[in-house]
Amino acid sequence: MKSLDDIAELLKGQPGKPPVEKWHPPLSGDIDITIKSDGRWFHEGGEIKRHPLVKLFASILRREDDGEYYLVTPVEKWRISVAEYPLQIVDSEVAPDRIAMKTNVDEWLVLDDSHPLTVTTNINTGEPVPRVAVDRGLSAKVSRSVFYRLVEHAIEDDGQLWLMSSGQRYCLGATE
């Protein structure tokens, strides 16, 4: 099994986002990396506290059609465990015609056709569960504080709260 530093060494010096969609190595196995529901990453039970390392791993993470999450390099593919969503939306900026969202790995994206916002309801608590599609099959859970800020910018229409961004309309949920 590869160590975190071995994988980091493979990717060192890569400019921008690696083209993981072009890489199709066979499954190397499972690696003891877990992403908790609050977005924290763990390796062999210990939290990965080096933010640059988390960003690096997030750059090679993808979700495949089997619903599993993998860290992918040109020659290796390691399955990891994700509790809920692999990324978190931790900040937002609202402009008149678009809304930008920042992930916990410092990537900004604009709500649009490629990065839609969807809100489901937790059947146990009745609370909204907002998420944004990122890329490579990944989604980012919108933090509670960001969601409340979005609600402040929403417009009520026929009992629903709506946001507009990039010409698209996103439902945040019922007003009741």
Helix (H) and strand (E) counts in the chain? 3, 15
Report the predicted TM-score, pTM, of the whole model to 2 decimal places: 0.86
Domain 4-82 is classified in which CATH homologous superfamily? Answer: duf1285 like domain (3.10.540.10)
Is residue 7 scored above 70 in pLDDT?
no
Strand pairing partners for 120? 129
Name the CATH topology of 87-174.
duf1285 protein fold (2.30.270)
Query: Strand, coil or helix: what is 33?
Result: strand
CB-based contact 107:97 (threshold 8 Å): no
Give the pLDDT score at 15.
52
Q: What is the DSSP string of 49-114?
A: --HHHHHHHHHTEEE-TTS-EEEE-SS-EEEEEESS-SEEEEEEEE-SS-EEEEETTS-EEE-SSS
**pLDDT band at residue 94, thresholds of 50, 70 and 90?**
confident
Task: Please check whether the two domains, 4-82 and 87-174, share a CATH topology.
Answer: no
Higher pLDDT pick, 171 / 95: 171
**Domain residue limits, the chain:** 4-82, 87-174
Query: Which uninterrupted H or E stretch holds 118?
Result: strand 117-121
Is residue 14 scored above 60 in pLDDT?
no
Is residue 176 scored above 80 in pLDDT?
no
- The answer for residues whose C-beta is within 8 angstroms of residue 133's C-beta and 6 or more apart is 114, 115, 116, 118, 139
Of the listed ranges 12-21, 50-59, 108-117, 140-149, the least confidently predicted one is: 12-21
Strand pairing partners for 128? 121
